[in-house]
Amino acid sequence: MLIAALAPAGAAHAADPLRGQQWGLSMVESDAAHSVTRGAGAVVAVIDTGVLSSHEDLQGRVVAGHDFVSNDDTPQDGNGHGTHVSGIVAANDGNGVGVSSVAPDAKVMPIRVLDDDGSGSSNDIAAGIDWAVARGAQVINLSLGPDVPIVDSAPEVGDAISRALDRGVVVAAASGNDGLPVCEQPQVQGRMLCVGSVDKRGSRSFFSSFGQGLGIVAPGGSALPFPNEDILSTYNDGGYEELAGTSQATPHVSGVAALLVSKGVTGQAAVDRILATARDVGPAGPDSQYGAGIVNARAAVAGLGGPGSGASAGGKSSSFRVSVRLRQGIAYVLHHGIIVGCRASGSGTCKAAATRSRTRVAAGSHRLRAGKTAMVRARATRKGRRLLSRALRKRSRLQLRLRVTLPGAGAQVRRLTLRP
């Protein structure tokens, strides 16, 4: 852990007295997302040091878990890390005490694989991942302390993550606190959400690993010795503390995944939507410092309908929706394609094709259900790859015309700018 400091006193929030000190929730705009969903029905497995299930701000939020350290079904937290992570995901909101969270109606499945010192074996971590998947977790949070295991040196963990992904589970894992130019989970990059950290100013935290494999960033603090610099959440002494690390950034993303799962957007579709709706920071488009950008809960759930409603809000103006980032990096499109969000009132196929002059640069399609959101990945064509590669070598911009067709709506056209 990089830093631990008692939470400072602050101005009271009307419902949760410490909400005003949770700048991370404000950065990801979770309050605005709660008008659409609060995460009801989603289960997030927090594979960590356990949880203080009796904490007043976690009452009703914790489901049955397992302790792989003591080999029993009472994963109590003797460290504090797991309780802190769990509170970021799903601490109670509006109960008049403590803090709020990203997905306050979601459930936390605590799985203890790290002991009171924060140490554990890769075998236990892998077993914990498999246990969570077998018992219905839709999201897995891997905030494994300051020494996030590198998958290349622990193939059993990488294999377990791959099995979870194959089952349609969203996996969010900390990029690491070593400031290395590589996400410390390189083996499953692309499908797993590798999460880096930013401070309250939106700049990459100095400790946050970045570069190859980084998917997205979220609030993780600065580790500076000043109040309200880090992430305030529940702790295993029954109180609240500020901690900093990519461990704290990751549950912000897991919480957003829980919001999407509660609206029926799961697995790779949820991953793609989280990446596509991130708030771009740093150089235009995905980059090595911030990945796709800062996770944004409000944008991720936009258009999915209010709590308890279907995905379509009804009415002609909301019967379809197309979302795509208008400014992207050429290298990202070359390797990952153009991600387009589609929602329509009728079932059918959403098709997306990007062209430059008469050259088709990228194309893709995906089946969608009425009122549900599907993520289409338009991948580069053979001619498109040559065009993109040439523009990347010459460091030149490209203007593309994206045409999207979906059931019950006329063709939608967007103009995209790709930058080297």
Task: Quick: pLDDT tens for 165-194.
Answer: 999 999 999 999 999 888 887 556 568 999
Q: How confident is the model at residue 372 (pLDDT cuts 50, 70, 90)?
A: confident
pLDDT at 323: 84
Catalytic residue chosen out of the listed positions 86, 197, 247, 312: 247
Mean pLDDT of the chain: 88
Average pLDDT over residues 7-21: 63
Q: What percent of the chain has pLDDT over 90?
A: 70
Domain span including residue 72 = 4-301
Q: pTM for this one?
A: 0.74
The band of 321, judged by pLDDT with boundaries at 50, 70 and 90, is confident
Catalytic member of 34, 55, 66, 81: 81
Report yes or no on 279 lying in a domain: yes
CATH of residue 188's domain is: 3.40.50.200
Q: Which amino acid is at 409?
A: A
Residue 134 has a CB neighbour count (10 Å cut-off) of 9
- pLDDT value at position 217? 98
* Amino acid at the residue 2: L
Rounded CA separation 339/274 (Å): 11
Per-residue pLDDT at 24 exceeds 90: yes
Lowest mean pLDDT among 181-195, 227-241, 316-330, 356-370: 316-330
Give domain status of residue 311, yes or no. Answer: no
Nearest C-alpha neighbor of 418 from the set 370, 371, 385, 376: 385
Residues 258 and 352 placed together within one structural domain of the fold: no
- Overall residue count recorded for the chain in this entry: 420
Q: Is the model's pLDDT at 153 over the cut of 60?
A: no
Q: What pLDDT is attached to residue 259?
A: 97
407: pLDDT strictly greater than 70: yes
Between the alpha carbon of residue 329 and those of residues 182, 274, 280, the distances in Å are: 19, 17, 11
Distance CA 131, CA 111 (A): 9
d(CA 100, CA 2): 23
Indicate whether 6 pLDDT > 50.
Answer: no
Residues 288 and 326 in one domain: no
- Indicate if 293 and 347 belong to the same structural domain: no
Residue 310's pLDDT is 35
Count CB atoms within 10 A of the CB of residue 315.
Answer: 8
pLDDT value of residue 412:
82
Query: What is the Cα–Cα distance from 98 to 116, expressed in whole angstroms?
Result: 24
Q: What is the CA radius of gyration of the chain?
A: 21
Number of domains in the chain: 2
Rounded Cα–Cα distance for residues 135 and 314 (Å): 35
* Residue 212 within any structural domain of the chain: yes
pLDDT higher than threshold 50 for residue 8: no
288 is catalytic: no
Of 241, 272, 301, the position where a domain reaches its end is 301
Examine the residue annotation and report whether 252 is marked as an active-site residue of this protein.
Answer: no
- In a domain? residue 306: no
Residue 410 lies in a domain: yes
Rounded distance between C-alpha atoms, residue 146 and residue 155, angstroms: 19
How far is it, in rounded angstroms, from Cα 107 to Cα 243? 22
Would you state the pLDDT for residue 306? 65
**CATH number of the domain bearing residue 396:** 2.60.40.10
The b-or-e profile of 215-248 (16+ CB within 10 A means b, else e) is bbbbbbbbbeeeebbbbbbbbbeeebbbbbbbbb
| pLDDT range class, residue 230, cuts 50, 70, 90 | very high
Gap between the Cα atoms of 252 and 257, Å rounded:
9
Report the pLDDT value the prediction gives residue 187, as an integer from 0 to 100.
58
Q: For position 268, what pLDDT does the model report?
A: 87
Give Cβ neighbours of residue 407 (< 8 Å, ≥ 6 apart): 344, 345, 346, 347, 348, 349, 350, 368
Residue 301, pLDDT > 50, answer yes
User: Is 309 contained in some domain?
Assistant: no
Q: Are residues 171 and 74 in the same domain?
A: yes
- The residue from 16, 30, 34, 48 that is catalytic is 48
3-state secondary structure of 326: coil
**Last-in-domain residue among 241, 267, 301:** 301
For residues 158 and 39, the model is more confident at 39
Burial of residue 326 (CB within 10 Å: 0-12, 13-18, 19+) is exposed
Neighbouring CB atoms inside 10 A of 214's CB total 27
> Which of 4-18, 67-81, 132-146, 392-406 ranks highest by mean pLDDT?
67-81
Tokens of 286: 């995905």
Kindly tell me if the per-residue pLDDT of 11 is higher than 60: no
Is 387 among the domain residues? Answer: yes
Whole-number Å distance between alpha carbons of 305 and 22: 26
Q: Do 179 and 69 fall into the same domain?
A: yes
Q: Tell me, what's the pLDDT at 315?
A: 30
Tokens 């980059």 identify what position?
Answer: 287
For the residues 375-391, what does the mean pLDDT come to?
A: 94
Query: What pLDDT, on the 0 to 100 scale, is given for residue 148?
Result: 46
Model pLDDT, residue 312: 31
> DSSP class of residue 212?
B
Is residue 106 situated within a structural domain? Answer: yes
Active site residue 247: yes
